Structure 1
């Protein structure tokens, strides 16, 4: 027990914990990189919301792989456009693990046939009657 206490009171413990944290960080980032590089598949995703937490903004999205719905989020690096919500974009995901994915917000999809084929329902917008200020 005394050795355990001495280890955590020394500088060596900070180095070991830092090294473990760095290894975990590298593993998760390299796993994402290699999955998207070697097992990449493209599909269509719908941006469901833009969420702001503290000073960071994220785009939440969902897409389908077969009949399974996958949800994802991506960090928005200062490029926020509220018009993205409800729109469809190209998404890149791993064929081995679809939870590893990335939405491509610079590649919108407008083809309704492809959007329906991807598992989404096209929402038809109703025309709003213009208000006539003289009629009221």
Structure 2
């Protein structure tokens, strides 16, 4: 018991905890990198919301893989466009684990046939009747 207290009171404990944290950080980032590099598949995602938390801005999105809905989010940089909500973009995900994914905001998708095949319902806006100023 005394050795346990001595370990946490020493500088060695900070080094060990720091090393474990660094290993975990490297593992998660390298796992994402290798999954997207070697098992990459592309699909279509819909941006569902843009959320601002303190100084960070996130875009939440959803897409479907084999009928299963996958939710994801991506941290945005300084360029934020609120018009992205409800729009469709390409998404890159791992064929082994679709929870590992990345939204490609630079690649919007406009083809309604492909959007429907991806599992989304297209919302059709009703045409508004134009006002005729000469009609009574």
TM-score (norm 1): 0.93
- Residue by residue over 1:44-81, the C-alpha shift from the partner in whole angstroms, topping out at 9 and shown as x without a partner, is 00000001111100000000001100000000011110
Question: Paired residue for 1:64?
Answer: 64
Q: Deviations over 1:95-122 (max 9, x none)?
A: 0000000000000000000000000000
Is the aligned partner of 1:18 residue 2:7?
Answer: no
Q: Aligned equivalents of 1:64 and 1:55: distance in 2? A: 30
After TM superposition, the structure 1 = structure 2 runs for residues 50-129 of structure 1, keeping only pairs within 5 Å, are 50-128=50-128
Aligned equivalents of 2:34 and 2:48: distance in 1?
27
Task: Quickly say closer, same or farther: Cα 1:129–1:57, change in 2 above 3 A.
Answer: farther
Q: Please list every run of 5 or more consecutive structure 1 residues that lacks an aligned counterpart in the other structure.
A: none
Q: How does 1:42-53 map to 2 (within 5 A)?
A: 42-53=42-53
Cα RMSD (Å) of the superposition? 1.4
| Structure 1 residues 127 and 3: CA distance shift in structure 2, 3 A | same
Secondary structure of residue in 2 paired with 1:7: helix
How many residue pairs end up in the alignment? 132
Q: Does 1:3 pair with 2:3?
A: yes
TM-score (norm 2): 0.93
